[in-house]
Structure 1
Amino acid sequence: MSLDQWIGLIVIVISLYIVWQIKEVLLLIFAAVVLATTLNRLSRCFQQFGLKRGFSVLLSVSIFFAIIISFFWLVVPPFADQFQELTKQFPEGLERFDTWLEDLKLRVPSALSPYISDINSLIQQAEPWLKRVADSSVAFLSGSLEVLLKILLVIVLTGMFLAEPLAYRKVFVRLFPSFYRQRVDGILDLCGVSLERWVAGAIIAMFVVGGMSFVGLWILGVPAALALGILAGVLNLIPNLGPTLSAIPAMAIAFSPDSPWRLLVVLILYFIIQQIESNFLTPIVMAHQVSLLPAVTLVSQLFFAYFLGFSGLFLALPLTVVGRIWLEEVLVKDVLDAWVDKSKGM
């Protein structure tokens, strides 16, 4: 290798190392880009009705904040009230469970009764596990401030990107060599179109899943059905795992000592919704929006969750959409397709 090639290789290695060190910051920037792309698409829809760019952006941002405020207003209070109700019912449940254990001791043979523990011994056995849960809760609360600051940073960056999108785009394009800048500008156009299509498909799936969850829980008489439906729709942004995560709070709220059967019915309901979403809704909606193979989607979730944590899991699909375009355009078309074996011409 020549000196220029060695220098180029060293620069690439150093650049990759720097990117790895600041991966969390880059992930926040990417989240802001996705949000700005969504709001920009909405503002362009308003512009089609004759509104000016500035007013359209302001209206889009106002709608976004209204949705966020409505989400917390609809979801948080019912969960807080239901949690208080669960704390009241929990001691009663323990007393009923203790009574059931005492009756069981009287019904089983005397040789087996010593192996049936009472409620106090079960609590002592579960004490180490409860301690770990408490420690995890403290760690979660201590990290809430950090999460809030990250969210504020994403919102501020989104506003900056919306205010002057072309200026930030030019700065990014100038990071590449002059002969490749026009090509990068075209790749960014493709990324923008693909992100907008993904956002449209995700919103459709979110409303459908949230609506099915709300209707099913409302029919079953589960408290806070609207809040649980909204939560199911939002968590549906995480493919494969989102419906499972949304089922946990629904089952916790649905549980009642008087009607334990409702817990099983809620589980069956979420299983049916997950099957409809994964086998019918996602293939039909996303096939017209973003062409991603199911195996690629699952592998990308595992990859980004392992290296980037929960934020990587939440942004796995848009990261995969953008990454696929860059790999296809740069690696495949510009490198591999243009590769010429010089030995054949000799």
Structure 2
Amino acid sequence: MKFSQWLAFIVVAISVYILWQIRQLLLLFFTAVVIANGLNHLVNWFQRKGIKRSYGVLLSMTFLLIAIVGFFWIVIPPFAEQLPELIQLVPQGIEELITTLRSLAVKLDPELLKNLPTLEEISQEFQPLVNQIAGRGLSVFYTTLAIPLSLVLLLALSLMLLANPQPYRQGFIRLFPSFYRSRINDILVNCDCCLHGWLISILLKMIIFASLSFIGLLILQIPLALAQAMLTGILAFIPNIGLILSVIPPIAIALLETPWKSIVIIIIYLIIQQIDIHFLSPLIMKEKVILPPAITLLAQLFFAMIFGVLGFLLAFPLAVVGKVWVKEVLIKDILDSWQVKSQK
């Protein structure tokens, strides 16, 4: 290799190392980009109505702050009131389920009893993985920045990106060779459409999931229906795993109250899942935003191991953006070009 090639390789290696060391800050910046992306569409709507962009930015940030304050003022208090009791009842219900399974195992085959784990053994199995993910993802925010300061920083970054996004966009595009910059601009437009589609769909899913689960739990007269419905709405932010996790608390509480209701709850949540698969996702989410369940699960594990909790929560938008770049750059611009050349 020539000296220039070695120098380029060293520069790339150093750049990759630096990016790896600041990966948590990059993820924070990506979160700000997602928020700014959603608000920017609202600003563009204001502009189409004849409102100046500066006023549109001010109105959009005002709506965001009102939504945040309203959420913590109206929604959080009843949830926080029922949450301690929910935390107390769920382990009791899980223990009741394990006891029932152990009793059934004794009747069927006494040898099966030895293979059934206890609640403590289950928690011990998952504890190392949870500690690893939490330790990586929360160290920056809880030790150096703290939660309030990190939220302020996130809102400040979002406001800066929203107020004047062109310098950041043009600066990123200029990192690429001049002949490829128009192509990068097209890819960024594609990413923008995908992020906007994902954001709209996930907000509607959270509202619909919470509403449907609340109605079902209220009809069954399950205790703490509001807290469990809100938990379902929050966990709807996590694809695939979220709905599975949200069904555990109502089933556990139903086992303590009336066991047959747990079966009805499973049916209700299966209906919610089918509504999501066959109606919500095809109607709300564009085809290019939908990822296969296996790819989504692998992306969640991958980004959780790299970025921690925040990476796990943002795995889907990260995977969507990654899909756009792989499809446009690797497949269309590189692999497809090789195929055309080979045919010639």
Cα distance, 1:68–1:223 mapped onto 2, change above 3 Å: farther
- Offset at 1:247? 3.1
The answer to whether the 8 A contact 2:214-2:225 is kept is yes
- Offset at 1:326? 1.4
Counterpart in the other structure of 1:231: 231
Matches within 5 A, 1:314-333: 314-333=313-332
Counterpart in the other structure of 2:104: none
Counterpart in the other structure of 1:31: 31
Deviations 1:132-161 (A, max 9, x none): 9xxx8xx99994973443333221111111
Instruction: Give the count of matched residue pairs.
Output: 312
Counterpart in the other structure of 2:155: 155
Deviations 1:289-346 (A, max 9, x none): 624333322222222122222211211111111111212222223333334899999x
Deviations 1:228-258 (A, max 9, x none): 4343223212101111233345556x56966
Matches within 5 A, 1:137-148: 143=142, 146-148=146-148
Counterpart in the other structure of 1:107: none
Counterpart in the other structure of 1:9: 9
Structure 2, unaligned stretches of length 5 or more? Answer: 97-117
CA distance in 2, matches of 1:88, 1:338: 60
1:270 lines up with 2:269 in the alignment? yes
Counterpart in the other structure of 1:171: 171
Partner of 1:338: helix, strand, or coil?
A: helix
CA distance in 1, matches of 2:283, 2:86: 40
Counterpart in the other structure of 2:333: 334
- Offset at 1:19? 1.4
Which sits farther off after the overlay, 221-230 or 187-196? 221-230
Counterpart in the other structure of 1:313: 312
Q: TM-score when scaled to structure 2?
A: 0.74
Deviations 1:29-61 (A, max 9, x none): 001100110111122223333322222222222
Q: Percent identity?
A: 45
Counterpart in the other structure of 1:196: 196
The answer to whether the 8 A contact 1:213-1:229 is kept is yes
CA distance in 2, matches of 1:250, 1:47: 45
Counterpart in the other structure of 2:43: 43
The answer to whether the 8 A contact 1:75-1:231 is kept is no
The answer to whether the 8 A contact 1:37-1:192 is kept is yes
CA distance in 2, matches of 1:11, 1:233: 45
The answer to whether the 8 A contact 2:240-2:293 is kept is no
Counterpart in the other structure of 2:280: 281
Higher relative contact order (CA 8 A, sep 6+): 2
CA distance in 2, matches of 1:216, 1:15: 52
The residue identity in structure 2 corresponding to 1:66 is I
Q: TM-score when scaled to structure 1?
A: 0.74
The answer to whether the 8 A contact 2:79-2:226 is kept is no
CA distance in 2, matches of 1:74, 1:259: 31
CA distance in 1, matches of 2:16, 2:216: 48
Counterpart in the other structure of 2:73: 73
The answer to whether the 8 A contact 2:301-2:312 is kept is yes
The residue identity in structure 1 corresponding to 2:200 is A
- Offset at 1:23? 0.9
Counterpart in the other structure of 1:300: 299
